[in-house]
Amino acid sequence: MSWWSDGVDDEPEEFDEFDEASIRIRPNPKGNRPRTKQRPEHADAEHGRVLSVDRGRFGVLVRENAADEAVITASRARELGRLGIVTGDTVHLVGDTSGAEGSLARIVRVDERTTLLRRSADDSDAVERVIVANADQMLIVVAAANPEPRANLIDRYLIAAFDAGLAPILCITKTDVADPTDFLEQFDCFDLEIIMGAKDDFPLEALKALLVGHTTVTVGHSGVGKSTLVNALVPGTDRAVGRVNDVTGRGRHTSSSTVCLRVRDVNGDPGWIIDTPGVRSFGLGHVEPANILKSFANYAIPAATLPKAAGGIELSQAHDWEIVDRVEAGELGESGKARLESLQKIIQTLEK
C-alpha cells in the first residue's frame, strides 16, 4: 500500500509492468566486496634508496651495507597516483626484492624529503622539474677553459643550492689548460669550499674527503669534465664522456640520465654522488626572489680589511635594503659588488 492509498485496492496502473521491485540484484561480477579507498599499510615493506630512473622503472638499492645488499628493479604502485619518484628518494617496497634476474618489486611509499633540487626550463616557466631529492651538497663543476667558465651560470647554481638548502662546493677542472685564479677572484666574497686540478693530476682523495658522509649532486655545463670526474671517483661507472666543439666551444650533452653512485675514500668510508646531465642554462622560475639576497648574505664573508658594520649586526641578519647598502659601501669588496649586481639582474628576470 502506498502513502497516497485510501485503503482500497488500487486499480492496475498504466506503468505497473515496469515495476522493478522483484528484480534480483546480482553480486559484483569482479568480487563481492565494493572498492574502498583504504590502502594497505604495507607494514612489512622493505626500505631502499632510488639510484636511477628510466622510463617508469627504478633502480633501487635495498639492504644497504648488509651482506645481502642488492640493486633491484621496481615499478610505482598505483596508489601513489601522480607522485613523482626521483633519484635520491628513499622509498618502501613490496614484492620480489631478491634482486634475481627478471624480478620486479613495487614502490608503495616515498619517505618525506629533506631537500629538493629543482630547475625550470627558463626563468619565466612556472613549471618546475625536480632533479634530485635528499642531497645535502652541490658540486658545481666548472672548466678553467674549453668551455670558458661563466660567472652568471655559477651564480644561478649558487641560488639553486641556497634555495634547496644545499652546501655548495666549487670544483674547477682543466687547470692545465688555463689558470683559474683571476676568474675565482669574482667569488672571493663567498665562503665557498673550492677544489681544483688538471685532467691527469686531480686531487681525488681530497675531493672524496668532502663527499664522504654526504649526498652530493653534481651540476655543470656540458663538456666541463663532470662525467670524467665521476668515472675517476667511482671506477667502473663508465659514464659517457663527450668532447667540446672546436668551433663553438660548447660541450655535447653525453650523459642523458641522473644516477646515484657510491664513493669510498681510502678508509672505505662511503658517500653518495648524484651525477646529472650537463646543461647550458639553469632556469630559476621556481625560486622566491625574496630569498635570494638572504642566501647571498648567509654565505658572504666581509673583507678582512674593512671595519665591522655599525652596531655589529651580521650581514645575514640585515634587511634586504641594508644588504644592498652595505655591499655597495664596500663591505664585501669589489667581488661582492659584482656578485650583488649579478643577483639583482637575476631577481629582475624572475619578477617579470
pLDDT in tens, 240-274: 554 544 433 444 444 568 999 999 999 999 999 99
**What is the pLDDT confidence band of residue 14, given thresholds at 50, 70 and 90?**
low
| Other beta carbons less than 10 A from residue 293's beta carbon | 22
Q: Cell digits for 66?
A: 648488509
The pLDDT of residue 253 is 44
Report the C-alpha gap between 260 and 187 in whole angstroms: 29
The pLDDT of residue 302 is 76
The pLDDT of residue 87 is 96
* pLDDT of 210 above 90: yes
What is the distance of C-alpha 341 from the center of its chain?
27
* pLDDT of 142 above 60: yes
The pLDDT of residue 286 is 75
* pLDDT of 293 above 50: yes
Most confident of 15-29, 199-213, 283-297, 299-313: 199-213
Q: Which of 118-122, 199-203, 286-290 has the lowest mean pLDDT?
A: 118-122
Rounded to two decimals, what is the model's pTM? 0.81
Report the C-alpha gap between 254 and 222 in whole angstroms: 8
Q: Which pairing describes strands 167-173 and 137-143: parallel, antiparallel, or unpaired?
A: parallel
* pLDDT of 160 above 50: yes
* pLDDT of 209 above 90: yes
Strands annotated E in the chain:
46-54, 57-62, 70-76, 90-95, 105-110, 116-120, 128-133, 137-143, 167-173, 193-196, 215-220, 259-264, 270-275
CA–CA distances in Å: residue 44 to residues 109, 123, 225, 284, 327: 12, 44, 43, 40, 56
The mean of the pLDDT values for the chain is 84
Q: Which of 43-47, 128-132, 235-239 has the lowest mean pLDDT?
A: 235-239
The pLDDT of residue 249 is 44
**What is the pLDDT confidence band of residue 307, given thresholds at 50, 70 and 90?**
low
Q: Under a CB-based contact definition with an 8 Å cutoff, are residues 171 and 195 in contact?
A: yes
Burial level of 30, CB count in 10 A (0-12/13-18/19+)? Answer: exposed
**What is the pLDDT confidence band of residue 2, given thresholds at 50, 70 and 90?**
low
